[in-house]
Amino acid sequence: MTDQQTLIKQLTDKQCLTAPVELNDILSSPWYIKLLMAFAGWLSALFFFGFFGITVLDFADDAGVKIIIGVILLVSAYFVLGAKQSEFLEHVGLAISLTGQGLLWWAVIDYMSYKDAQLWIYLGLAQIALAWCMPSFLHRIFSAFIAAYAFNVFMSMLARIEVFSSVLMLACAWLWLSEFQHKQYIARFRAIAYGFTIALLLIKTSYSFNWLWLYPSDRHLTSAFMPWLDEGLNCLILLYVSWQLVNRYQLALSSATAIAAFCSVLLVGLASIYTSGLALALMFVVLGFASSHRILTGLGVAATLTYLSKYYYSLELTLSEKSLSLFGLGLVLLALAKVCLLWFQPQEDKR
């Protein structure tokens, strides 16, 4: 008896189910089988498109031919990804889709420069459409990731790259908070949220598109103020997430739990002014814990350690001074944990 059958039997014995439940026949493969099938899918796709690319080079100067072939490949990828669930076909379909997208954008670049801001906004919108329409969880994650980076380039060309992380952070927060409010779109919301989350963590770690700024002379005027504004907006978004979770669990705003949550958010916001990315990482930890997403929680924990390590090694202090600061911070955190335990202990005893 499988785990699913055992769970159904236990729920039926406790009369939690009033109607018979049909189990899904799809079996989940072990991770090493998935890895092997992914490697086989990409290897076969690379061999196929290696021969296919030789014929396309004969028509490399004709943008119309590249557009037609690109559209045909995208349509083919849609039907391949919509076939019966298979790790092999999923990766083959993703490879076909990427080839089709490459041909389409190759044709577009013939008419637009890569330093044209409109090119990147079109790329982002196209990837959002693919993330919503393509019947593949992996493809949706990849498309959402590319869309986030395309919008990041667009904002960098407008000399507002710091503000974009706050905009993307708000989008991630809304997607994770609204995931279960639209049951028919749970898979889409989750895939797009994962793509945005991974892209945001990488974007926040380092700005990799500074070379695309259209007006480098304006950068020194905004770089001193914009990071402060960005971290302030991040703190406001973290407050919004806390407020939504307080309402979800039907807690009064004047309750001790709500007040403690809001005070903690304010302290994190103050700390994130000097430790860039801390508010963002803790938001993912909170959202992952609240929604029981282990992957999201793990990403948040890893991001927290990364941003703290980056801040630690960027300080212009001696190792002894850094050690003392970490020791003091550890004592403060332990004291706060003890205060929280003493604060909430009477409420637990009453229950």
In this prediction, residue 53 carries a pLDDT of: 65
* Full pLDDT tens readout for the chain, 351 residues: 555 566 666 667 766 655 565 555 444 566 566 667 667 766 776 776 676 666 666 655 677 777 888 888 888 888 888 876 677 777 777 888 887 887 788 778 777 776 777 888 888 899 999 989 888 888 898 899 999 888 888 877 776 666 777 888 889 889 888 877 777 788 888 889 999 999 888 887 765 444 444 444 444 444 555 667 777 788 888 888 888 888 888 888 777 778 877 887 887 777 777 777 788 888 888 888 888 888 888 888 888 888 878 777 777 667 777 777 777 767 877 887 787 777 666 544 544
- pTM of the entire structure? 0.75
pLDDT of residue 212: 47
Number of neighbouring beta carbons within 10 Å of residue 133 = 13
Q: How far apart are CA 316 and CA 325, in angstroms?
A: 13
| Distance separating alpha carbons of residues 301 and 102, to the nearest angstrom | 35
CB pairs under 8 A, 24+ apart, for 42-46? 42/91, 42/95, 44/92, 45/91, 45/92, 45/95, 45/96, 46/95
